[in-house]
Structure 1
Amino acid sequence: MRIDIISAVPGLLTGPLENSIVQRAKEKGLVEIFVHDLRDYTEDKHNKIDDYPYGGEPGMVLTPQPIFSCIDHLTSERKYDEIIFTAPDGEVFNQEEANKLSLLENVIILCGHYKGIDQRVRDALITKEYTIGDYVLSGGELPAMVITDALVRLIPNAIGDAGSALSDSFQDGLLEAPVYTRPAEFKGMNVPEILRSGDHKKIEAWKNEQSLAKTKERRKDLYEKFKKDY
């Protein structure tokens, strides 16, 4: 898999890319990730990549030329399955979307910045738009890393135990059941007896009950959707 991330502030991506499961997946040759600085593609003599918006609103907007030039360059070299823009008004990114993206070969993620990007970029080039929540960030670099991490960890062999990713919250539409580790007793608090019983059928039933109960309590929207679908 190859992921190309286009950013106005590429330095924000350095740490997460070099200290995570993503880095280990790169070292294993499971994924290629390239970060592209928009300023390398501007034709402005002052190296500008933004300008004031039409209509008199405050703030600055990323101009279309460097974005078109960068994406045109990338798409001339290979075919991309999706060209993603991280935007507050995009579709909510969730586990289902991460599952779909993890099956693709080539993906571009364009990070928004300032007030956003010229609408003509969105109209002509973007195939998917994602938000990671109902709030506004300074730029799209953090959402880009959230998306990258979420899909890379699903690539076979990216994490040590493949079954771990499949049992995470949201994979089956529910929140994950409580998890425990050793010691069995800590400060007077005990691991549920059922988890130490060795009876895998009873353990699985307990986990399902706990998962349903937690989802109903904390995410009624997910619980109602699960009950409807199943």
Structure 2
Amino acid sequence: MKNKYDNTLIWFKIITIFPEMFNAITNYGITSRAIKKRIINIDFLNPRNFTKNKYKSIDDRPYGGGPGMIMSAEPLYQSIQHAKSELKNATVIYLSPQGKLLKQNCIEQLIKKKQIIFICGRYEGIDQRIIDSQVNEEWSIGNYILTGGELAAMIMIDSISRFIPGVIKKKQSIENESFSKNLLDHPHYTRPKKIHNMSVPEVLLSGNHSEIRLWRLKQSLGKTWTKRPDLLKKHILNKEEIILLNKFKKYKNKKVI
């Protein structure tokens, strides 16, 4: 019998003690629409359901002493094994500040995995034996500490989903976004033409698509040069981009850009 999710492009299984947190992506936005279209599937395993103690506790004190508690190995192990029994080819990812830093080009690689199991840690972390024996990859969304891996998992799922065919209608929308070519996005404007004595740049009202393209590219280059010069170092400028960036630099102080 054919499963109703046979055509699903990517499966996400989340191991978390707070599945309700994921309502933000299962009930709203592009990920919610992708679930309804059965382009992606997201479901959850709560380690508390794999505990043998009557209090359903999934943490314990660290060996060697120290502050905080550690997520116990056995409930996580059983959760992972159950997830793997359903997703035979899954990659197990642990969200951790010690993991590889997530960048845009990484997202384009993660989409190829098709089946991903996310482990959302809590407290001071998880038992190292789970990392050593069960985790394929560790990922971090930034150089800062969160109280758990749930928010990081949501960010990764949202970012990955955007690249799945059918999730976002216009492919060009993805290609033109910030970081897609190591450049920040250009400024955007909408109606009305003037608000609080601030006007939309005339070029965007001209209807001249060639001039609009050049203006947007110049703004993108200029914004990257101003705000994220580290990105610009990774981008090989062509002749047109060199000219536009020089124009931006020349007139920046004159506010004529």
The normalised TM-score by structure 2 is 0.83
Tell me, yes or no, if structure 1 residue 2 matches structure 2 residue 1.
no
8 Å contact kept, 1:175–1:211: yes
1:194 matches 2:203: yes
Aligned-residue identity in percent: 38
* C-alpha distance in structure 1 between counterparts of 2:204 and 2:109, whole Å: 33
How far apart in 1 are the matches of 2:134 and 2:210? Answer: 50
Partner residue, 1:49: 58
Matched, 1:225 2:234: yes
Residues 213-222 or 37-46, more deviating = 37-46
**Change in CA separation of 1:203 and 1:72 when aligned onto 2, cut-off 3 Å:** same
2:223 corresponds in structure 1 to 214
Partners of 1:155 and 1:148 in 2: how far apart?
Answer: 11
Unaligned segments of structure 2, at least 5 residues: 1-9, 242-257
**Secondary structure class of the residue paired with 1:102:** helix
Give 1:227 shift. Answer: 4.2
Task: Give the number of the structure with larger relative contact order, counting CA–CA contacts within 8 Å between residues 6 or more apart.
Answer: 1
Aligned partner of 1:28 among 25, 37, 51: 37
Output the CA distance in 1 between the equivalents of 2:223 and 2:129. Answer: 44
Q: 2:254 is matched with which residue?
A: none
Provide the C-alpha distance between the structure 2 equivalents of 1:215 and 1:102, rounded to a whole number of angstroms: 26
| Distance change (3 Å), C-alpha of 1:125 and 1:228 | farther
Contact 2:84 2:90 in 1 (8 A): no
1:119-138 matched pairs, under 5 angstroms = 119-138=128-147
Q: SS where residue 103 of structure 1 aligns?
A: helix
Identify which range, 32-41 or 199-208, moves more after superposition.
199-208
**Match status 1:166 vs 2:175:** yes
2:47 to 30, 35, 38: 38
- Name the residue aligned to 1:182: 191
Q: Which amino acid aligns with 2:99?
A: G
CA distances 1:38-72 after superposition (whole Å, capped 9, x unpaired)? 11122344322111111211001111111111111
1:78 corresponds to which residue? 87
Unmatched runs of 5 consecutive residues or more in structure 1: none
Q: Does 1:12 align with 2:21?
A: yes
Secondary structure of the residue that 1:32 maps to in structure 2?
strand
* Aligned equivalents of 1:77, 1:149: Cα separation in 2: 22
Contact persistence 1:68–1:121 (CA under 8 A): yes
How many residue pairs get aligned? The number is 230
Report the Cα distance in structure 2 between the residues aligned to 1:168 and 1:120, rounded to whole angstroms: 40
Name the Cα RMSD after superposition. 2.0
Give a deviation string over 1:105-157, Cα, whole Å, max 9, x none. 11111111100011111111212212122211111111111111111122122
Counterpart-to-counterpart distance in 2, 1:35 and 1:163 = 33
